Amino acid sequence: MKNNKSNRGFTLVEIIVVIGIIGILTVALSKVATVVKTNAEIKSTEGLISQLVDALQAYVDNDPSKNKNIDGGGFPDRHEINPEDNDGQSYTVYVVCIQGLSGCPQAREVINAIADEYKKSYVDPAEPHDIIYLVDAWGKALNYKKDGSGNFPVIKSAGPDMVFGTADDIVSSEF
């Protein structure tokens, strides 16, 4: 007597092959997603630096009576702060206090357009108020450097590796 039972199930080998294919696709997609996310963070930081450059330019252009040969060309002073990074490690960076730009209506408009997630507060006992500064897409403070010669200040992000002075730094003078 013959058994006419139809075999409708999958074999163990077929199931393992399908799981393997799904695993390979998952790894490939996660790598692509990581690259896309990093590129988006880089573009976001470039846009943030560009906004800060616009605010600084508006600040200087707003008051023609400023002597362009004193104090780094009339640009706001920088403040040394020692915030903690995402790993809880303290680092030293020089920042522009963005509330110092608020005296200029055009600069204030640009600063107000920046999302709050990029604004951080630092308590400095030597200052009469908290220092509000900007951070990049990775949460690291933007470095603000004036050379004292009246040239436009350089704004720098540590980039995706979150270490200043490496090849992936994002610098205002490069775009």
| Alpha helices by DSSP H, the chain | 12-62, 71-74, 105-113
The secondary structure element, H or E, covering residue 81 is strand 78-81
pLDDT of residue 75: 77
As a whole number of angstroms, the distance between CA 34 and CA 30 comes to 6
Q: Note the pLDDT of residue 37.
A: 97
C-beta separation of 172 from 154 below 8 A: yes
Average pLDDT over residues 130-134: 91
What is the pLDDT averaged over residues 71-83?
76
In this structure, of 22-26, 30-34, 88-92, the range with the lowest mean pLDDT score is: 88-92
* Inter-CA distances, 171 with 54, 120, 144, 149, 154, Å: 14, 20, 10, 19, 7
Q: What is the mean pLDDT of residues 51-55?
A: 93
- pLDDT, average across residues 134-161: 89
Quick check: 65 pLDDT over 80? no
Instruction: List the structure tokens of 72.
Output: 């780094």
Q: Quick check: 2 pLDDT over 50?
A: yes
Q: Where exactly are the structural domains of the chain?
A: 12-174
User: What does the alpha-carbon distance between residue 153 and residue 159 come to, in Å, rounded to a whole number?
Assistant: 18
CA atoms lying within 13 Å on the CB side of residue 159: 11
pTM above 0.85, yes or no: no
Residue that wins the pLDDT comparison between 85 and 18: 18
pLDDT above 70 coverage of the chain, percent: 87
Nearest Cα residue to 136 out of 109, 155, 113: 155
